[in-house]
Amino acid sequence: MYVDPRWVIVVVGSAATFSSLSPLVHARRFNFFAASLPHSALFSVALGYLLSATLGGHPTAWAVVLSIPLSCLLVFFIHRGASEDNATSAFVAFTVSGSVATVYYVLTKFPVRVNLWSYILGDPLLAGWEDVWTVVAVGAAMVTVSAFTYYKHVLIGLDREFSTLSGIRASLHDYVLAILLTLSSVSLLRVVGFAIEHIVILLPAAVAARVARGAREFYILSILSALAASSAGLLLSVQLNVAPAAAFGFALLALYIASLLRG
């Protein structure tokens, strides 16, 4: 069985990235946002290709530039009093419609050099060295920022009003978390894939929350569970010739079921 080191780096790196953000999402009840992220990421990536083909520049750079204001707009509307459910529904409606329209336009009007299917299904086995460096850079940044801001996010999640009295700018942290999630989501969409991205964001914390004995363990176990699931998923995918992202998702699900059975 041949395992390319690039596959290992992108799979393990993206697992570390998302799983380091996962406890923050869980603590902040940002699940609604995480669930909408793949839609906005796909929309941004598709638009990025369109702009890249017409104006030049790197498609992922365009996607990042486009996606951050989109995500911040959702947070802004929620801060202005819109309910999370309603704002997310409208946001998903806009991004899904936009991504379908843009993907259709790109596929029919432009000679697409990169297969957009890899963004939908995720394919780390196609990763080149450029992808590897992207994952390493994004992963290092996300793990560092999440580790430094983790306790603040937990405190906001526990009791928002108390956290502001303790000197935390809770609204600013809402935007910071939204931007971190958006950057990870857009940058690593091709590795993880649209279809299971939100699972990779949500499940590591769900597993860790069931077994952790404290906040510190919660963060560490979230990352460890994703690292274990991603490694197992990669090996399974190579061995059994199944989609790597799917194997990763199933491995995470197996861990979650195991945590449920543990009681």
Partner 1 sequence: MLTHVVHSGEVSIKVMDLTFAYNGDYIVAGENLELKGPGLVTLLGPNGAGKTTFFKLLLGVLKPMRGRVYLNGEDVTGNPLKAGVHASLVPQLASVRRDLPVTGYELIEMALRSRGVRNPERRERVKSALSLVGAADSAGRKISSMSGGQLQRILIARAIAAETPILVMDEPFSGVDPRGREAIAKVIEELGANKLVIVSTHDPILTLNKSKLVVVFNRGVKGVGTPDEVYRLDLLRAAYGPGVLSIEKCLHVLS
113 vs 213, beta carbon nearer partner 1: 213
For residue 246, state whether it binds partner 1 (rule: CB under 8 A). Answer: no
- Tell me the closest approach of the beta carbon of residue 6 to partner 1, in angstroms: 35
Distance CA 41, CA 262 (A): 35
Instruction: Classify residue 231 by burial, with Cβ atoms within 10 Å: 0-12, 13-18, 19+.
Output: middle
Distance CA 201, CA 73 (A): 21
- Tell me the closest approach of the beta carbon of residue 42 to partner 1, in angstroms: 31
CB 197 within 8 A of CB 41: yes
Distance CA 187, CA 74 (A): 19
Considering only 212, 235, 236, 238, the residue that binds partner 1 (CB under 8 A) is 212
Of 37-45, 67-75, 210-218, 251-259, the segment contacting partner 1 by CB under 8 A is 210-218
For residue 83, state whether it binds partner 1 (rule: CB under 8 A). Answer: no
Distance CA 200, CA 21 (A): 10
Distance CA 190, CA 91 (A): 22
For residue 169, state whether it binds partner 1 (rule: CB under 8 A). Answer: yes
- Tell me the closest approach of the beta carbon of residue 58 to partner 1, in angstroms: 38
Considering only 24, 208, 234, 252, the residue that binds partner 1 (CB under 8 A) is 208
Interface residues toward partner 1, by CB under 8 A: 26-27, 151-152, 154-155, 157-159, 161-169, 208-209, 212-218
